[in-house]
Amino acid sequence: MPIQPTENIWRNGSLIPWEQANIHVMSHVVHYGSSVFEGIRCYGQPSGAAIFRLPEHMQRLIDSAKIYRMALPYSLDELCAAVVETVEANGIAPCYIRPIAMRGYGEIGINPSKCPVDVFIANFPWGKYVAAEHGGADVCISSWNRLAPNTMPALAKAGANYMNSQLIRMEADVNGYAEGIALDVNGLVSEGSGENVFVVRSGVLYTPPLANSALSGITRDSVLTIARHLGLPVVEQSIPREMLYIADEVFFTGTAAEVSPIRSIDRIVIGDGTTGPVSQQIADEFFGIANGLKPDRFGWLTPVKVTASEAVTV
């Protein structure tokens, strides 16, 4: 989906015009992929707009940077305030928010220790991420595995890690699928190119543990919280590939994907090929909270000052 430019981008403590948010071609990040980033959604609500789980997202940005020995010059509170400032300055809601910290221009070579760390925050309209028709997306098992343990840290949301994701997504696209699901180095279900995976079988909700090279998804955690609140049995365990084929329901979760049902995997129809009751129940609760139609019972929303007249529909 093409990026729709907005007016401002936050860079290192100040708002600057969108078109001035540039980096040098010799910046470390361009050559070595040395960045960490987040994806956050801001939802339009009857009373205005609110950012979904802002502190948790920005804490994960800090954690990702720590794993990669990238010292961020801002605290959690400062980063959260910067996100709110950016959204309010652009007056766009609902929207997608992209904070990113990167190694900038300084020295060439693998060791980034002498390169400055630059932090940017942008926001822009963005709609549905996973294409789905007639009750869910048609996806495949990728021939590309997820990162093996002790190669690159799967818990870090780092730009370099997403080269693996690009291969998974491009392979799925060229073969006519909406998305790919990757297995880990042991052949167990890991995650999609940018989504966590959930499986429903016999009324039980399953998802792979983080040890299967899965990202610690904020939406994943939200769904686990919602499921437990609804009294649904939840199990985090390793999932063999074939369990996907015989599941009653399968769905993706993620900031971009939100809660997205899967209709088929490798041309095998999941259940009856429609959105299942558990998936629907969880989606209704998730979107109800996000869109302000149900109580914010878990304290997930950060209000922003974007009026209804400024809000845009994506």
- 251-277 burial, b if ≥16 CB within 10 A, otherwise e? bbbbbbbbbbbbbbbeeeebbeebbbe
CA distance 9 to 58: 17
Task: Give the number of other Cβ atoms within 10 Å of residue 293's Cβ.
Answer: 11
Cross-strand partners of 189: 183
CA distance 212 to 178: 23
36 alpha-carbon distance from chain centroid: 13
CA distance 52 to 46: 15
Are the beta carbons of 145 and 183 closer than 8 angstroms?
A: yes
Local structure of residue 244 (DSSP, 8 states)? H
Query: Please, what sign has the CA dihedral across residues 194, 275, 208, 172?
Result: negative
Q: Which of 287, 282, 310 is nearest to 300 (CA)?
A: 287
Active site residue 157: yes
CA distance 288 to 293: 5
221 CB contacts (<8 Å, ≥6 apart)? 56
Q: What is the token pair recorded at 193?
A: 């190119």
Could you say which of 66, 114, 128, 157 is catalytic? 157
CA 62-66-72 angle, to 5 degrees, is 55
Q: What is the token pair recorded at 3?
A: 């990026």
Cross-strand partners of 123: 97
CA 98-99-102 angle, to 5 degrees, is 120
Residues annotated as catalytic are 157
